Structure 1
Amino acid sequence: MENFALIFVAMLIGYIINKQDIFPKDTPIILNQFILYISLPALVLLKIPQLTFSFEIIIPVIIAWIVMGISAVAVLSLCKIMNFSKEVTGALMLVAVLGNTSFVGIPVIQAYLGDSALPYVVMYDQLGSFIALATYGTFIAAYYSSEESVDVKVIAKKIITFPPFLFLIISMFFIGRTFNPVVISVLESLASTIVPLALVAVGLQLRFKLPPHDIKPFISALSVKLILSPLIAIGVVTIFSWQGKAALVSIMEAGMGPMITAGAVASMAGLAPRLSSAIVGYGILISFLTTWILHNYIT
């Protein structure tokens, strides 16, 4: 209960701060940069060494890519059937496929499944969602905005130099080892900043305005992201008879709301900015209910 209280209070604080213009407009960017460059690398370095080499640590990665792949096909098919514009299609290919598996995923899964689930969250997020954002997300933004070509070298450089991913690779060499207590204490302090800062940043970026003509793509996007995606994950887990915390985390991560960064990418590429923001804002709030239902179903 304490974890969920923190989630809603932190988001509410961010939303109120945004409405009152207390902080600069670029505050969400600054908070997210702190998380990406300091807090998340600390969490990765703290949690990944606690894993043991086994097939189980790969399960979240496999499920992440299967879920995103099928979801992308479903979104593209829906957009063609409903004759959505190229701009709206590009937006939905981003926000209806990529999930908020770190900023919201970490506190939500920590609340439901405990700290022991976090290493699997990191695997799903870094080797799944993040790489998809850097590769698939870049391609979609470039293709549907028709403003720039896709540079494979630039994409590869972004992935390799991204701090959380870099520290994920480094942390793999420490699996099974124990750090000095001082190092652990420092990492724990830095990693503990993720939840409050991420949730305040989410609150700062929430947008709820939605004109009538955006209702169909809005419903389509959230139906895929919050309903179809976790159902795909459940199907994969069932087919392969995967059990344990890795499977549970993967299903929960698949059901997370739309990725804030994906919404930002869509907006910056000129892909239905208002619709993208509304899908992200409403999607995150609705996901608290759908993940609760999902958790009760799978446990």
Structure 2
Amino acid sequence: MENFVLILLAIIAGYLLKHLKILPKDAPVALNQFVIYISLPAMILLQIPKLHFSMDMMIPVIISWLVMFITAVLTLLVSKLFSFSKEITGSLLLVTILTNSSFMGIPIVNAYMGEEALPYVLVYDQLGTFIALATYGTFIASYYASKDNLTLRIIGFKVITFPPFIALVLSLFLMGIEYHPIISSVLSSFASTIVPVALVAVGLQLQLKLPGHEIKPFSVSLFIKLIVAPIIAYFIIKLFGWNSTSALVSIFEAGMAPMITAGAIASMAGLAPRLSSAIVGYGILFSFITTYIIAKLIL
């Protein structure tokens, strides 16, 4: 419950700060930069070394990557169909594809399925969306934010110099290594700032009424993220004949709200910041309803 309260209060705080004009206009940029350069690398360095690969928990990993791939292709096709701009397409390829699999996923799955389902949430998050954020997210932000003609060399340079990706590479070399308690405490403190800081930035950019030209991509994104993605996950588990707790958890995870940090990356990269924040903010609110419907249908 405290997670839900924090989400709502952080968004509201940002929205009020904007209307009270307490912070400068470029505050969302500064907050998002803090998340990308400090908070997210700390989270990666803290969590990735803890991973343990096991064939028993591969179902959430398989479903997470398949859902992300299929929804990315679908989003790209729809963007071309509606002739969305490069900035809007880049935004949608971040906030529509990357799911809020931990911060929203843990309390929601716990509420509907109990604590025994939580290990599968962590696997879906850490081996699925978290790695996708540092790799796929880095590539999309680099490619769609650039105003110049890109070569593979330029894209590669942008990817390998992006702080979350650097942190991911370092963390892979640290797998199995236990940090000194002081280092763990410092990393944990920085990592814990991701959600409140990113959501205040969302609130600062949130508009209750979007411009007409942003309504269509807004609707497309949330339809794919909250409705199409869990349907895809459902058909995948039926196709493979999976009928386990991990499979049901994966459907829930696929239907979670857009990832908060994905919105921060999109905003920092200049990929339709107002639209990105609206999709994240409203997506979180709408997901309380859609995940309830999912629970009624599959449990």
With normalisation by structure 2, the TM-score equals 0.76
Q: Partner residue of 1:109?
A: 105
Q: What's the CA shift for 1:255?
A: 3.3
3-state secondary structure, aligned to 2:103: helix
CA displacement 1:249-292 (0-9 Å, x = unmatched): 685255322742575389x46x7x77666545433432343345
1:169 aligns with 2:172: no
Counterpart-to-counterpart distance in 2, 1:274 and 1:174: 37
1:135 aligned residue: 139
Note if 1:125 corresponds to 2:129.
Answer: yes
Aligned mates of 1:297, 1:172 — CA distance in 2: 38
SS in structure 2 at match of 1:107 = coil
Which residue type is aligned with residue 128 of structure 1? A
Compute the TM-score of the two structures, normalised by the length of structure 1. Answer: 0.76
2:115 corresponds to: none
Q: How does 1:56-135 map to 2 (within 5 A)?
A: 62-78=62-78, 84=82, 86=83, 88=84, 90=86, 93-99=89-95, 105-112=101-108, 117-118=121-122, 120-135=124-139
Q: Does the 8 A contact of 2:99 with 2:257 survive in 1? A: no
Contact 2:6/2:196 (<8 A) preserved: yes
Query: Aligned match of 1:260 in 263, 275, 283?
Result: 263
| Residue number in structure 2 paired with 1:30 | 30
Matches within 5 A, 1:123-272: 123-136=127-140, 138-139=142-143, 148-211=148-211, 215-240=215-240, 241=242, 248=249, 251-252=252-253, 255-257=256-258, 259-261=262-264, 264=267, 268=270
2:101–2:256: 8 Å Cα contact kept in structure 1?
no
- TM-aligned CA distance change 1:243 to 1:92, over 3 Å: farther
Q: Does 1:8 align with 2:5?
A: no
**Is the CA contact 2:143–2:150 (under 8 Å) kept in the aligned structure 1?**
yes
Taking a change above 3 Å as real, the CA distance of residues 103 and 48 of structure 1, as seen in their structure-2 partners, is same
Runs of 4 or more, structure 1, over 6 Å off, are: 100-103
Change (3 A) 1:63 1:131: farther
Query: What is the CA distance between 1:152 and its match in structure 2?
Result: 1.6
Instruction: State the distance in 2 between where 1:121 and 1:44 align.
Output: 12
Q: 1:68-118: CA deviations, max 9, x gaps?
A: 3322443455456xx63x2x2646643444237889554213433578645
Q: Deviations over 1:215-250 (max 9, x none)?
A: 555433321122112222333344443856698368
**CA 1:282–1:2: 2 relative to 1, 3 Å:** closer
For each residue in 1:43-79, what CA deviation from the matched residue of structure 2 results, as whole angstroms up to 9, or x when unmatched? 2222222221334677666544432332244345545
Which stretch has the larger CA shift, 249-258 or 27-36?
Answer: 249-258
Q: Which secondary structure state, in structure 1, belongs to the residue aligned with residue 94 of structure 2?
A: coil
The count of aligned residue pairs is: 288
Q: Cα distance, 1:175 vs. partner? A: 2.6
CA distance in 2, matches of 1:50, 1:164: 17
Larger deviation: 289-298 or 27-36?
289-298
